[in-house]
Structure 1
């Protein structure tokens, strides 16, 4: 059979700037393309469409942008198709594959008016199409099937795997993450969930699993996110580089090295395939309560702008990727076929062994897009550097003993809880401290003890700001005759927090009190609420988190005051709960603020 020429030689250019020769409706074209692709596939397999002459001067050009992990395998299939002169509708296909980070492509396609220079996008997860819509959805995408899948697991170096009981011990996501984050000797890392579907799917699975564990699930998830944020990598390709390399005791103890990371099975396969010694191999734990997977959706980009030849070639290439030889190419790179169980040899190379549930034929339902977006919001807020001004009630009532606490006062337990809470924050977080009670500082009900600054910054007289703040927490003492000067203190602290707002951080004012306002010379409640509402600025949000400490505290008043400044009120019966409540409040208030801005 002779070589076929293209209808218009100008269509041979490499990008979306090529002129379109034919237009058609999306629905009608899709049906036509599928029928033609099926027929062309049969003809190609029978050899009827093999060309004797070179096709390089008469081929339909197709630009594919693919996730970096799958791009080499897809490029190999494309190169083979070019060499074998595989055709689409009688024309040879010239498929060019470019690797690009998924989050960058999603951001690009979200902008209305963009004209991408590619016809197909192959990200690692359907999440990215949803993310594109959430960001604006400027360029339409048409799903055309899935090329491959790869489950997400926890990969460990050998020493950590042994410590966790690999391969004999199985875990839920919640149990596995707890085991990996409650010991200082097992450091857990991940790729940034804002840039990595693997990181996001894993953290969402942790959240779903943890929700079944009890009422403090949100706090546990936030704590996990905070722990991960200290050891996060910018992208999937970089997370494996954080692992201990040679298995030596010195390497394992290196604080810069992780012993465990969230990883796809394919990434573990690629890592283990590249290592020379078995002691360097990763070992995989497949959580038993769910199987989130990267699903590699094949997306047509702005289908209405594709020429008929491009659309046919795009669908033909998708069909080709499902044929036996290309499937073997994908498997050789560590990918499972979208509709088949993985070969045992693939799983073993990746680090899986029985009884880890990697052979389960039933997988969990895909994680809901809203659950993924919620986790992304949690991550964004929880790991964002915080700037908190903490205001603590030291009135006489804070001397009251806490039942079951060996005669410890409310203030004693509050201080201990604040010291524990401070450990959850990084050196980049900023925290300051005020105290308040009537008669504390002349006519004023409040006193600034430590300015709000980075915990890692140098402190006065040596040491760090964190150390200085810890000493200030410990030194807090009740004013025996002092009453609760809540209103004036709240207004003064809020004005300063607003005035010192730092862009790019989660700014908030945290007030802890065990009573209602008792200063008869202060402003009224209505005046305070009006002032807070006037001071609140959506462009410079400083939510107020009011924590009512003890059974006698007025939660209703605390919540009313906090909501006037875009925050919320919380109550703890035991001051020891303060640590968990602060983290939960930051998450909840921060997400609410983020949703309002969107």
Structure 2
């Protein structure tokens, strides 16, 4: 024990001046060492000091999945971090970047699959929102945005010149309208179901068209025309341009003269064009939606402290001067409002075009969902029979309005009808109890093609009139089970191959017919009738507080469909479109 102790004369109370001086010198030296170490640690953690390859021996590895357009820039930034020994908490950053389509990553995360990456940079926050909205999905956390790129309409020079580029400016509907007038200006786009560029543009188009008379029908018509010339991805849509430098490639109707593209995609294409085959870019004057490149942590609770801190360090690095130059070199905006002249001109833009004009506000999740729903039914075409509850309870007032449940339901159904095209087949049943003899239902309009004409009226005209004429049956109760079974049998027996087939049922109550089959019998029979090779999902919507959502979900699930609850009948339109998108993605 004595060897760990100091002799008395050198103890705390010793008065030897030599010891006091030595202690003072040690203390001063210690402070200096600690100051240098602290300063060095701060410099290293900020990536300011380099020790050759020393920190590479204990680098923290990070895997990032990135949208194919931004992946090259991120790889360059990762290489910059390696060469300059950029560190996180004293450990070098070793970042690997893989190019992956944003919709594919979204599908994998929504399926709850374990991820092999710690961070994700899709081209739009809409993908992050889509994953975050799914309670069963792998968790993603948006930590910030690293760049942006507006969406416009790029054209081969001959087509752009015919429309007065660069001095003349157009709205979205004017540009797409020019492409719809004849086949001389063919407009292509990436599939909005798989492309943020395509969906943001489609949503902008839908919003712009909705403000005009007959807007929903016009938007559906534009979507239908656009659907004839879609490609699976943003990269593939560029392959649809003419191969000859004149931009005409006469005799090949598969080639497009105009494309819905991001500014960055046009920049990258022009940079690789070697002087021929470049594009001119129109920036629509009513606002350009923007890709915003969020940086998201993937499954953050499962990340180690080193991984999460390294991911955030890499994100902050992308905001520093040299990585910002790298992003700009690859055609991305690092300042959304004041892009460089070199970027705009490189993308085919011009000072006469409103290249700083942004959308009034980003599209809401609801607007995106409705546009995607319209796209789904437009592209695939649909055969849908709508079955509406006409029991007496539908006369109940909707809270906060002077309208009944039936009034608001009719308005919402008419709104939904406007999104369908002449190729879609729509029909209408209504039900109560003993509505037609012993039957609880009546077929008001058989399910037929909306464009079919009888006399002076089309099927759309007949349906509009029938929806408008719907009224609650005085004293009528809810004959739910028998109606559901009969309508589903009819929908299955009249299945239309090549179309999206579905049965949409709306009710504000539970089954009130004591003479009907039981719920368990209904579910059993629906399961026996359902054919996976000829899917007809039941989309069951419980309207108001008296309906039973769990019952709707149980009945609909037996067919591969879905059950929904809406407190306000005005939500029916959105719910139908959302359910169609969900059912269509599973078929």
TM-score by length of 2: 0.63
Q: Separation in 1 of the partners of 2:219 and 2:313?
A: 44
Q: Separation in 1 of the partners of 2:338 and 2:217?
A: 36
SS of the equivalent of 1:375 reads: helix
- CA gap of 1:248–1:138, structure 2 versus 1, over 3 A, is same
- Which residue among 286, 290, 295 is the counterpart of 2:292? 295
Q: Separation in 1 of the partners of 2:101 and 2:227?
A: 20
Give the corresponding residue for 2:280: 283
**1:319-359 per-position Cα deviation (integer Å, ceiling 9, x unaligned):** 11111111111111100005552101110010101221003
- CA gap of 1:86–1:249, structure 2 versus 1, over 3 A, is closer
- CA gap of 1:589–1:386, structure 2 versus 1, over 3 A, is farther
Asked if 2 retains the 8 angstrom alpha-carbon contact of 1:65 and 1:122, the reply is yes
- CA gap of 1:42–1:285, structure 2 versus 1, over 3 A, is farther
Q: Separation in 1 of the partners of 2:335 and 2:86?
A: 23
Q: Separation in 1 of the partners of 2:47 and 2:141?
A: 31
Asked if 1 retains the 8 angstrom alpha-carbon contact of 2:124 and 2:292, the reply is yes
Give the corresponding residue for 2:350: 353
Asked if 1 retains the 8 angstrom alpha-carbon contact of 2:268 and 2:330, the reply is yes
Matched, 1:505 2:499: yes
Give the corresponding residue for 1:151: 150
Q: Separation in 2 of the partners of 1:382 and 1:78?
A: 42
Q: Separation in 1 of the partners of 2:136 and 2:425?
A: 36
Q: Separation in 1 of the partners of 2:48 and 2:156?
A: 51
- Which residue among 576, 580, 583 is the counterpart of 1:594? 580
Q: Separation in 1 of the partners of 2:182 and 2:233?
A: 25
- CA gap of 1:218–1:292, structure 2 versus 1, over 3 A, is same
Give the corresponding residue for 1:51: 51
- Which residue among 352, 375, 378 is the counterpart of 1:382? 378
Give the corresponding residue for 1:80: 80
- CA gap of 1:589–1:494, structure 2 versus 1, over 3 A, is farther
Asked if 1 retains the 8 angstrom alpha-carbon contact of 2:169 and 2:284, the reply is yes
Q: CA deviation at 1:56?
A: 3.6
Give the corresponding residue for 1:367: 363
Matched, 1:66 2:66: yes
SS of the equivalent of 2:202 reads: helix
Give the corresponding residue for 1:110: 110
Give the corresponding residue for 1:574: none
**1:337-393 per-position Cα deviation (integer Å, ceiling 9, x unaligned):** 055521011100101012210034x6531111111111111111221144589xxxx
Give the corresponding residue for 1:225: 223
Give the corresponding residue for 1:267: 265
- CA gap of 1:497–1:152, structure 2 versus 1, over 3 A, is same
Q: CA deviation at 1:422?
A: 13
Q: Separation in 2 of the partners of 1:46 and 1:494?
A: 65
Asked if 2 retains the 8 angstrom alpha-carbon contact of 1:71 and 1:99, the reply is yes
Q: CA deviation at 1:87?
A: 0.8
Q: CA deviation at 1:496?
A: 6.0
Matched, 1:238 2:247: no
Q: Separation in 2 of the partners of 1:286 and 1:94?
A: 39
Within a 5 Å distance, the mapping from 1:451-462 to structure 2 comes to: none
SS of the equivalent of 1:213 reads: coil
Matched, 1:310 2:307: yes
Asked if 1 retains the 8 angstrom alpha-carbon contact of 2:67 and 2:123, the reply is yes
TM-score by length of 1: 0.62
Q: CA deviation at 1:589?
A: 10
Give the corresponding residue for 1:31: none
Instruction: Could you tell me which runs of 5 or more consecutive residues in structure 1 were left unpaired when the two chains were aligned.
Output: 1-38, 390-420, 432-451, 456-468, 477-490, 510-526, 544-565, 567-586
Q: Separation in 2 of the partners of 1:68 and 1:493?
A: 46
Instruction: Could you tell me which runs of 5 or more consecutive residues in structure 2 were left unpaired when the two chains were aligned.
Output: 1-38, 386-418, 427-447, 458-484, 504-512, 531-535, 540-555, 557-572
Q: Separation in 2 of the partners of 1:85 and 1:369?
A: 41
Question: Would you say how many aligned residue pairs link Structure 1 and Structure 2?
Answer: 426
Q: Separation in 1 of the partners of 2:128 and 2:47?
A: 37
Give the corresponding residue for 2:131: 132
Asked if 1 retains the 8 angstrom alpha-carbon contact of 2:206 and 2:219, the reply is yes
Give the corresponding residue for 2:95: 95
Q: Separation in 1 of the partners of 2:196 and 2:582?
A: 25
Q: Separation in 2 of the partners of 1:373 and 1:164?
A: 32
- CA gap of 1:45–1:329, structure 2 versus 1, over 3 A, is farther
Give the corresponding residue for 2:25: none
Give the corresponding residue for 1:342: 339
Q: Separation in 2 of the partners of 1:340 and 1:385?
A: 40
Q: Separation in 2 of the partners of 1:507 and 1:594?
A: 10
Q: CA deviation at 1:115?
A: 2.1
Within a 5 Å distance, the mapping from 1:188-227 to structure 2 comes to: 188-214=187-213, 216-227=214-225
Q: Separation in 1 of the partners of 2:324 and 2:200?
A: 25
Q: CA deviation at 1:297?
A: 0.3
